[in-house]
């Protein structure tokens, strides 16, 4: 799993520097409505066990879906970005603009 962790709820984006921060922030009742990726586009799943939230790697890699989600969030927020920018640059810009904690 490559940090940072990018978590989407619709067009809302939250970027967490570490897995621990993501697991600590996302509440168990939110796990079903959040889409998450690592920095390379691996799909991650939040899971709740009791009152704790954990991230699980799925092994599915969809960097194009991550790119589209980031660009969609930037568009909705009025952030100018080149949609064909390398994924690592989009992740870096997302981290600068949407970091949590």
Secondary element (H or E) of residue 43: strand 42-49
- Distance CA(51)–CA(94), nearest Å, equals 29
Q: pLDDT over 90 for what percent of the chain?
A: 78
The segments of the chain whose pLDDT lies below 70 read 101
pTM of the predicted model, to two decimals? 0.92
Q: Give how far Cα 26 sits from Cα of 65, 74, 76, 86, Å.
A: 21, 22, 22, 28
Beta bridge partners of 56: 45
The domain tally of the chain equals 1
- Residue 101, pLDDT score: 66
User: Which residues span the domain enclosing 76?
Assistant: 5-98
What is the per-residue pLDDT across 71-91, written as a single tens digit (0 to 9) for each?
999 999 998 888 889 999 999
End-to-end CA distance of the chain: 19
């Amino acid at each position: 799993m490559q940090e940072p962790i990018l978590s989407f709820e619709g067009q809302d984006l939250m970027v967490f520097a570490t897995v621990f921060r993501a697991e600590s922030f996302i509440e168990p009742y939110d796990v079903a409505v959040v889409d998450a990726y690592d920095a390379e586009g691996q799909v991650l799943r939040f899971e709740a066990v009791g009152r704790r939230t954990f991230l699980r790697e799925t092994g599915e890699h969809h960097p194009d879906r991550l790119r589209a989600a980031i660009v969609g969030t930037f568009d909705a927020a009025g952030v100018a970005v080149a949609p064909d920018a390398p994924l690592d640059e989009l992740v870096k810009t997302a981290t600068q603009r949407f970091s949590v904690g």
